[in-house]
Structure 1
Amino acid sequence: MLNVLVSGGGIAGSALAHWLRRYGFAPTVVERAAAPRRGGQAVDVRGVALGVLDRMDLLGPARAVRTRMRGMSVLDADGDEVHRSTEYAASSGRLDGDDVELMRDDLVRLLRERAGDGVEWVYGDAVTALEERGGGPVRVRFESGAVRDFDLVVGADGLHSGVRRLAFGPEERFTAHLGQYLSVFTAPNFLGLDDWQVWLRDGESGFAAMSVPGNHELRVAFGFASGPLDGDHRDTEWLRGLIVERIEALRWPGAPRMAEAARTAPDFFCDAMAQVRMDRWSRGRVALLGDAGYCASPLSGQGTSLALCGAYVLAGALRAAGGDHTAGFAAYERRMRPYVEVNQALATENPGAPASEESVARAKNALVLDEER
C-alpha cells in the first residue's frame, strides 16, 4: 500500500483523498488552515465533472445544497437596475441547465465526508521541504517540525503552491497575471436578496453579490483591474485595506455597508486573477493537481471541474499503473492536458466578459471518463 501525501485540503485535495483511499492507497492530507475553511464563492460543477461527482455518489447531495438562484440584476454605477434576467445568472449560466452551482464550503464538506475514515487529516501544518531519497520515498519536513517519509507527494495547494515551489522552482516561472484582482467575503444580507444576485461595475472596479441558500447572508465577489501589485499575497490585512478603499470609492449608495462587511469579514480572501502554465506537472515522485498545476482562474468558471476531474484521472492512472508513479503520472498528464488547455482558454477568450456559451459547452465536456471501475 503506497503512502501518499496530499498537500491541500480544498476541493482538489479532498477529492483525490477519496479516490486514493477507494483504490487502496493510504492518503494523508495536510492543510495549512487550522480547520476546514469556511466561506468562499459559489462554484460550478459542469459537464464531465458531474459524472465524477456521480461516481462518488455525491451528485444527489450536491444538488440538495445547490444555490437556487431565481435570476440576476445588472446595476449601473449609481445602483439603478439596467437589466434583469430570470433565465440566466452570470455566476452559473442558464438556470434551466444541468450544471450544479453550490457554495465552495458545502462542496468541500461533502468531499471530506465522502473520503471517509481511511484518510489521515492534518490541519494547521504545511510542507516546508522535500527530499527524494534515491529510488525510495520522499522525506517531507513540515512547518510543525515533523519529518515523515511518503511514497508519493501531490501538491493540491492552490495558485501559490508550496509543493510546486519546492519541486519545480519559483512561482513567477509558471504564473501568468490576467490583469485583475478578486476578493471574496461574507456579508450580512443588507440588500435583502432572495435567491438573487446583483452585478455592478464602476470604472475599473465592480462586484457581484449573491444570497446563499436560506438567504441569511451574502457572498460578495469584488474585483478591480490592476497589474501585479507590489506586496505579499499572504498579507491579508494589506489586501483588505486595498479592497475597502476601492469599495468606498464606488458611487453606489450601498458602498459604506459593503466596505464595513469587507473590513470585518472573518473569511476575507483576495488574490490575483492568474493562470498556472507548466510544461509538466510531475517531477520524480511529486505531482501537481488542480490550481497548483493548471489554475485556469475564476475567470474561466471551470476551476472546480478541473480539480474534480484531475483528482479522478490522477488516482485512476496510479491505480492502472499498479502504483508505478512514472507511468501513472505520465498517463495523468496525457489525459488531462487537452482538457486543461481548452478550459484555460475560456478565461482569455473574451476579455472583460464571459466566454461564449458554445465555448463553455465544448470545454466542460472535453474529457471522456473511462468505464466505471
Structure 2
Amino acid sequence: MRILICGAGMAGLATAIDLGATGHDVTLVERAGHLRVNGSPIDIRGDAIDVARRMGLLDRIRDRRVDMTERVHFVDADGTVLAELPGDEVSDTPDDIEIPREDLARVLYEALSPATTVAFGESIGELHDDGDGVDVTFVSGRRDRFDLVVGADGVHSLTRRLTFGPERDYLRHLGFYVALTELPAGAGAGRGNPILNWPGHLIGITRYRDTALGVLNFRSGWIDYDYHDLDAQRRIVLDAFAGHDEWRVPEILDAVRRDPELYFDSVSQIRLPSWHRGRVVLVGDAAHCASPMAGRGASLALTGAWLLAEALRAHPGDLGAAFHEYETRQRPYAERAQATAGPGGDLIVPATQEALDLRNARLAAAGR
C-alpha cells in the first residue's frame, strides 16, 4: 500500500520503519523543518524493550543509555537534600532503559528504509477519504493519494482533528502544566538532579551527559492559550513561578526568558473510543497520550507502531480487521499507562504542604 505518516516523532519514525520493513510504500511528513529532538530523556519499558529487539535497534538504544532519573533528589530552599527518589518509584523493572530523546530520534531516523520518502517542513492541509483511498492536499499545495493515512502527530494531532473533530472533544486535562528549558553551559555541574517543591509547584535541574535542563511543573486548571505562541507560553510559566527567589529559581526563570525553543504544554491525556475512521488510523500520543506524568509515551509509540504493522500484515486487504486487531492488542498498554499518570503527579508535585512533608518523610525513611 501507499501509506502517508504524519509526524516524525517517535511514533511516526517507528511506524515508518515497521511499515517500510513489510514492503509498503511509505511517505513521512513532518511540520517542523528538522527532526524534533528537544525534551528530557525518555524511557523504554516493558514489552517495548522486546519490540526494540525485534526491530534490531535494542543494542543501539542501550549504547546510549543514561541514568538521569536514578539521580533525582528533592531539596529545600537552601539546596539541602531532603530525600532521594528510589528507582522503583519510577521504573517498572531493572531492564527499563532511559535514553535522551534526541538519541532515540536519531537511532530511529537512521533505521528508516532508504525507500522511505521523508519531507520536513510539510504537513497535511486537507484529507478526503472516499472509501477506496485518501486524497491529501498538503500545506505546500501539493496533492497526492494514499491507501492509508497514519496520524502520528502527537497530542495536538492535526490528523486527528481533521478526521475525528476538535481536540477539546478528546483531551482530558490532568491539572498540571510542564515546561523544559535549556540551561547555559556550566549550569549542570555535579551529578545529582535536584528538585525543589512548594505546594503545587516543582522546579529543578536535570542533567545528562553535557546537557542541563531546567524543568518546571505546576498545578493549574485549564488555561486557554495558543500553543504556537511562544511568548504567551513564556508568560504563563513566569507568572506561575513569580515571587520566588530561593535556591536556583531565578537562574532557571532567566533561562525560560531567553530560550527560543522553550517547551511548554498541558499535562493531558487523549481518550478516544476508536483510533481509526475509514482509511485513517492514529498511533502514539495522537491516539492515546498518557501524559508525561506516566513516563510511557515512547514505549507506547514503539508497541503501537509494531502492532499496527503486524495487524496490517496479518490482514492484507482488510483494513477493518487489521485496525480491530491493532486496537485490541494496543489498548491495554495505553489504558495501563494512562492509569499511572495520577499517582505520578502526586509523587512529584504534591498539592499541599502536608502532602509534600509526608512524601519527603516517606522517601527519606525508605533511603535509610
Q: Indicate the SS of the match to 2:62.
A: helix
In the alignment, residue 195 of structure 2 is paired with which amino acid? W
1:343 aligns with 2:337: yes
Q: Distance in 1 between matches of 2:44 and 2:249?
A: 31
The answer to whether the 8 A contact 1:77-1:202 is kept is no
Query: Which amino acid is the alignment partner of residue 297 of structure 2?
Result: G
Structure 1 residues 316, 292: closer, same or farther in 2, change over 3 A? same
Q: How does 1:202-241 map to 2 (within 5 A)?
A: 202-213=198-209, 216-241=210-235
**Alignment partner, residue 67 of structure 2:** 68
SS of 2:17's partner is: helix
Say if 1:267 and 1:67 are closer, same or farther in 2 by CA, change over 3 A.
Answer: farther
User: Cα offset for 1:88?
Assistant: 2.9
TM-score relative to the length of structure 2 = 0.89
- Match of 2:244, as an amino acid? L
- Normalised to the residue count of structure 1, the TM-score between the two structures is 0.88
Give the alignment partner of residue 184 of structure 1, picking from 172, 180, 183: 180
Where 2:347 maps in the other structure, the secondary structure is coil
1:280 equivalent in alignment to 2:274: yes
Alignment partners' CA distance in 2, 1:98 and 1:325: 35
SS at match of 1:93: coil
CA distance in 2 between counterparts of 1:68 and 1:146 reads: 44
For the pair 1:22 / 2:21, whether they are aligned, the reply is: yes
Q: CA deviation at 1:6?
A: 0.5
Q: Distance in 2 between matches of 1:242 and 1:212?
A: 27
The residue identity in structure 1 corresponding to 2:10 is: I
Q: CA deviation at 1:351?
A: 4.9
Structure 2: which 5+ runs fail to align?
Answer: 349-368
The reply to whether residue 130 of structure 1 matches residue 124 of structure 2 is no
Offset, 1:344? 0.9
Q: Say which of 184, 195, 199 aligns to 2:195.
A: 199
What is the CA distance between 1:253 and its match in structure 2? 2.9
| Distance across 1 between alignment mates of 2:222 and 2:78 | 29
Q: Structure 1: which 5+ residue stretches go unaligned?
A: 355-373
The yes-or-no answer on 1:110 pairing with 2:107 is: yes
Distance (whole Å) between structure 1 residues aligned to residue 271 and residue 37 of structure 2: 28
Q: 1:231 to 1:56 in 2, by over 3 A?
A: same
Alignment correspondent of 1:12: 11
Residue identity matched to 2:3: V
Say whether the 8 Å CA contact 2:188–2:205 is kept in structure 1: no
CA contact (8 A) 1:247 1:258 kept: no
Mapping 1:23-42, distance limit 5 Å: 23-42=22-41
What do the CA deviations read for 1:211-270 (whole angstroms, capped 9, x no partner)?
A: 122xx2212321111111021122122101222343453342312221121222233110
Partner of 2:363: none
Query: 2:122 touches 2:138 (CA, 8 Å); kept in 1?
Result: yes
Q: Percent of aligned positions with the same letter in both sequences?
A: 37
1:357 — aligned with what? none
Residue pair 1:72, 1:88 contacting (<8 A) in 2 also: no
Residues in 2 aligned to 1:252 and 1:97: alpha-carbon distance in whole angstroms: 35
Aligned to 2:356: none
The offset of 1:303, in angstroms, is 1.1
